[in-house]
Amino acid sequence: MAPRHRRPPREIETPSATIRYEPVVEKGSWLQSCCSWDLLVFLLLVSGACGFIVLHLYLYPTLDKMSQLPNIDPDNAPFTWGTYRPHMYFGLRTRSPFSPLFGMMWYEQPDTIQRPHIRHWCHQDDHLPGYYWYEADGRTFGRQNISDAHKGVIQTDWINEANGFAARVKLNMAKGRRYNVILYFSAQELATRFRLGKHLKDIFYGTNELLGAFTFSVHLKNGTKLNSSHSTMLTDERIPIEKYQDYIMENTQAYNAPNQPLHYLLNEKKNSEEGKFIAVQLNLGNDAEFDIVLQTEKLKAMKSEEFSNTLRSRTYNFNKKYENAFQLGGKNYTKNQLKMAKVAISNMLGSMGYWYGHNRVVFNNLIHPYGPHAFFSAVPSRPFFPRGFLWDEGFHQMLIRKMDPKMTLEVIVSWMNVMDTSGWIPREMIVGSEAEAKVPAEFIPQRPDVANPPTLFYVMDKLIHDERTISRYSGILKLLYPRLEKWFTWLRITQAGPSRTTFRWRGRNSTILSELNPKTLSSGLDDFPRASHPTDNEYHLDLKCWLALASRVLARLARSYGTEQEYQKASKAMEELNNFETLQKDHWSEEAQGFFDYGKHSKDVALAPVPASGSPRQFEYQRVASLAPTYQLVTDAFGYNNLFPLMLKMIPARSPALKATLDKIRDPEVLWTNYGLRSISKKSPYYLAKNTEHDPPYWRGYIWININYMVLSSLHHYSEQNGPHKDLAKKIFHELRTNLVTNMANQFQKTGFLWENYDDRTGQGRGCHPFTGWSSLILLIMSDNLDT
């Protein structure tokens, strides 16, 4: 996964807009007798310039959006509430730009006057022992446990109905402690107005263009009593979305009556008659429970029993669907492993997000707004990456499609709808103020010449082989086909390499000296080593394999939904890009027995102090090559990148190259560990090497679950193919699956989280957490249907 905004952006190279072809000279051409050489050269220059202009106009980013594909669920999505604010511990909205935002905050009531630590947006700095949706379908309900300090647990259950919702919040905290819970609504457009009621049963009411008239009520349950009267806030001020909790704290007053404990209450003296931000605070003890209901003209007051019955019914349906999809019940997994598996899918579905607005794009050296977008996607991590990532999305949807193929298609349509007319898709969707608030400003702009792994083709490959999906959603698949074809064409031409059969990720910085190996962020593998000295003549193995997969998907789509001419064109591209002899010619090293990148490379580079008069230390760490770089295959960096021919099933089952790759996978000195496959060989000089003086390794040894999943999927494939290596593939498959499941479950039990990656030496979770993006693929790994 790209490090998102951990590292500074680098200068992006301008992509080539042409594929270079070897010239073909025909003997005895009539041009030789009819034209002078000067005229011939002139005509060639003119025709070449015209061709360049046509390609430039066709492929150069325009920041003009393609026409929008239709909403798959237009009757429900804009009106239906869901947990589509994934960066929050508990927040709801509908998939409409006119939706009000609902959220919950809480903090422990201090006994002395001090500013409390408020919980609102998910933050790793909150140091919560755990929080996750343990049952959620991403559409109609969710059940979440939030473990707070002192072994306390807050449970949030919710359901939607018509265009309203209901929720139940339970506090089971340490004895003697007090907690204040704030519930709020915020308007996103001028027509929404809130007013205050007099009692908890009608504490808010108002009107909204989407919902009509509505009322919000709070019902205390099971003997729950307030430690003091509830307090409210209503303001017409425009509060920045990232400042909500600060505004609450700035408008909170302390009350310390004689012989009474200290209480914090919202300052009601400043309340407006009506406004666009409204909140109520409940001062509670350690054991409390309450229901909330947003009533509309279509959803009347919901009784406690009705809520319980609906929640029970939806939970049952979810669990039935879950078991049908993954069939873990009859397998010999432990209780903890089964818990981890259900949390993986539930937290992914419970973290689906919706955003509306513009993202920012660097165009002609200026930052421009691009949009507006109505964007729907899964997210990698609620606290750290609560937004859409193109490279991650295909892996997310590999899992979601098993539970809800319609949702997967909705997400793919959403990504296709952010495509510009050249075929470019932003690699990261930071849309609107709420998404931007989680990203430092310098990392927000996207660059329209930078690609990303087209993993949506990976999930499309599964969808178009599923007869039920084809029969049910053939209409939307037909609409997706030309968009996917346009994206493929953009990738193939703008990321062209030095020859027709090679390809190069754009974006490597050829002038930077502070990096041991200039990063390739566009590849998704970030600091995985490529040629040490970037040039336009290098080419990359993984990109070639991604395009080969994409061509296979497009050929199948063209056969079903395209014209005969389109099918012939797609078939030709598929044959060309999947030619194994060409792959070997461009990327295979007989000496190193592997597939590799090619470029200007030195096998003896290091970061060393170099005199620098402008530096306070009088030196800087720079890349120094003891051996001069030459054009060669990059054979001193075997790892995830070199597995792509295997992972995307391009190696013939009887090829010796398959045996060589399997041997490297199973070698403990190369990729094999007791916890999963490490990202680069222990024998490589780049293993666990810093990329700058302060830049730690990322894809240089640690274990990443998405790549391990791809390897397992391919091992399963080769174990079923007739050939001399099927038994070895099957053996490695079972051993690798056991190692991954065992270690991740151990870490889940120990820490309460799924992690971004895992240490190849200890198995410990690393990086951000909870990371229920592609690490949630452990559920598919545990099932027996990796490829269906």
Q: With 70 as the cut, is the pLDDT of residue 52 above it?
A: no
CB 410 within 8 A of CB 74: no
Structure tokens at 772: 């229920």
pLDDT, tens digit, 9 for 90 and up, residues 102-134: 999 999 999 999 999 999 999 999 999 999 999
CATH class of 78-326: mainly beta
* Per-residue model confidence (pLDDT) at position 784: 80
Distances in Å between the Cα of 249 and the Cα atoms of 26, 90, 239, 588 are 80, 19, 13, 62
Q: State the pLDDT confidence band at 614, using cuts at 50, 70 and 90.
A: confident
Examine the residue annotation and report whether 526 is marked as an active-site residue of this protein: yes
Cβ neighbours, 10 Å, residue 16: 17
* Per-residue model confidence (pLDDT) at position 41: 55
Mean pLDDT to the nearest integer, 646-650:
98
Question: Which contacts of 113-118 are long-range, i.e. CB under 8 A and separated by 24 or more positions?
Answer: 113/254, 113/256, 113/262, 115/249, 116/180, 116/249, 116/264, 118/245, 118/248, 118/249
Percent of the chain with pLDDT over 70: 92
Q: With 80 as the cut, is the pLDDT of residue 53 above it?
A: no
Q: With 80 as the cut, is the pLDDT of residue 7 above it?
A: no
Q: In whole angstroms, how large is the CA radius of gyration of the chain?
A: 28
Mean pLDDT to the nearest integer, 654-673:
98
In 3D space, the residue among 460, 488, 455 whose CA is nearest the CA of residue 473 turns out to be: 460
pLDDT, tens digit, 9 for 90 and up, residues 324-358: 999 999 899 999 999 999 999 999 999 999 999 99
Distances in Å between the Cα of 735 and the Cα atoms of 665, 705, 740, 774 are 12, 15, 9, 21
* Per-residue model confidence (pLDDT) at position 603: 97
Count Cβ neighbours within 10 Å for each residue of 119-145 and write b for 16 or more, e otherwise: bbbbbeebebebbbbebbbbbbbbbbb
* Per-residue model confidence (pLDDT) at position 2: 45
Q: With 80 as the cut, is the pLDDT of residue 33 above it?
A: no
Range from 12-26, 581-595, 700-714 carrying the lowest mean pLDDT: 12-26
pLDDT, tens digit, 9 for 90 and up, residues 721-743: 999 999 999 999 999 999 999 99
Chain mean pLDDT for the chain: 91
In 3D space, the residue among 202, 187, 193 whose CA is nearest the CA of residue 232 turns out to be: 202
The CA-based angle 56-62-67, given to 5 degrees, is 115
Q: State the pLDDT confidence band at 613, using cuts at 50, 70 and 90.
A: confident
Taking 3-state DSSP, the helix, strand and coil percentages for the chain, each rounded to the nearest 5, stand at: 35, 25, 40
* Per-residue model confidence (pLDDT) at position 20: 32
CB 134 within 8 A of CB 144: yes
Which one from 434, 756, 759, 760 is the annotated catalytic residue?
Answer: 756
Q: With 60 as the cut, is the pLDDT of residue 300 above it?
A: yes
| Cβ neighbours for 251, distance < 8 A, ≥ 6 positions apart | 233, 266, 267, 270
Which one from 108, 135, 148, 526 is the annotated catalytic residue?
Answer: 526
CA-to-CA distance for 196 and 257, rounded, in angstroms? 26
State whether the Cα torsion 779-784-786-788 is positive or negative. Answer: negative
CA-to-CA distance for 126 and 490, rounded, in angstroms? 43
CB 740 within 8 A of CB 781: yes
CA-to-CA distance for 525 and 529, rounded, in angstroms? 9
Residue with token string 């594909």 = 69
pLDDT, tens digit, 9 for 90 and up, residues 674-700: 999 999 999 999 999 999 999 999 999
* Per-residue model confidence (pLDDT) at position 788: 57
* Per-residue model confidence (pLDDT) at position 732: 98
Q: State the pLDDT confidence band at 260, using cuts at 50, 70 and 90.
A: confident
Q: With 70 as the cut, is the pLDDT of residue 29 above it?
A: no
pLDDT, tens digit, 9 for 90 and up, residues 394-420: 999 999 999 999 999 999 999 999 999
Mean pLDDT to the nearest integer, 660-685:
98
* Per-residue model confidence (pLDDT) at position 422: 94
Residue with token string 């008069």 = 613
Examine the residue annotation and report whether 756 is marked as an active-site residue of this protein: yes
Q: With 50 as the cut, is the pLDDT of residue 549 above it?
A: yes
* Per-residue model confidence (pLDDT) at position 64: 86
* Per-residue model confidence (pLDDT) at position 251: 95
Q: How many CA atoms lie within 13 A of 787 on its CB side?
A: 14
Q: Where are the domains of the chain?
A: 78-326
In 3D space, the residue among 779, 6, 88 whose CA is nearest the CA of residue 396 turns out to be: 779
Higher pLDDT, 196 or 14: 196
Q: With 60 as the cut, is the pLDDT of residue 16 above it?
A: no
